[in-house]
Structure 1
């Protein structure tokens, strides 16, 4: 019987190796798999490359990984926290100034498309975004019909940590509002996708037309809070 559910967060994050690239869902405070990030902190993996919309939103989760020195490189669109008054909220900025973490700044649409390309088995692609700016330095560029383009490469993850609202034991996922954000393309682009969900429901409870991420892209599902498994 196919069953991708994990009994604990510890089981869900098992196997994340030192040096892994981890794609982390979330947009601001929406759809962030905070409990998975805390479990990863306890798990102990180091020298991580993190792909996320920002570099830590608030004191819990990603900021803790940065402060603990576990992140080697951050690939993100927004490298500053939206809440500087909370402890740890500026962990990335401090680590970056000290030179203990690298930064690759990527426009949001380009980041999403790089992951989509990886998940679709595509090669590099050209985009006009960032042409003529510092973000294009060192990259191949081309002018087509008078318009400048920058070549970008697919962005693949060893793991993806995402948050969804409902899942079944096969790993089919549905999201709540903006909690969807980058999660669908991250699930496609990772070797192992781990979904933290509010509730695991019986097979068939999620209408087929409501399945946003099919279970074929999900390896592990763990329920965090909410109702008991049914």
Structure 2
């Protein structure tokens, strides 16, 4: 299990992208649409197979007929860092160990193909602080295609009232010193190294 990307959600894609750009002082690249969930995104490369996406409900898309991922159906208020997504080599095996992550859903965008665990209700467990699980199919991945923006993920803090229990739940599967857990109200906070120095994204 390793970090694949971070998701910043907003009521609109424009607001989500503006939140990231203001926080980091960089410009996001075009992304695309996710027909299965009726969402769209813009992207920022973080190097080393990692990236960040600003994501929101696509107003031009038909209703997906099921709850959207990341709890976007109930997304209100200011944009924020909403999700962290971890890459696994075998989604079915990962779900056998972490069934609360959801059910596997096959997805595609252009030539990208992947499977992702999505809870039936859309929102991730542990008040949205549990990582989403993704398995990419084939060699295609968004990160190498994105412009080099000089940004890298330096740290990710996962806050939750039961942070110790969440950390213990993930410890057998995740070994990344950049990820820490802290007791507090449910929230994600990332430190991103940028060309202008470290910036915090919440």
TM-score relative to the length of structure 1: 0.24
Normalized per residue, the structure richer in strand is 2
TM-score relative to the length of structure 2: 0.26
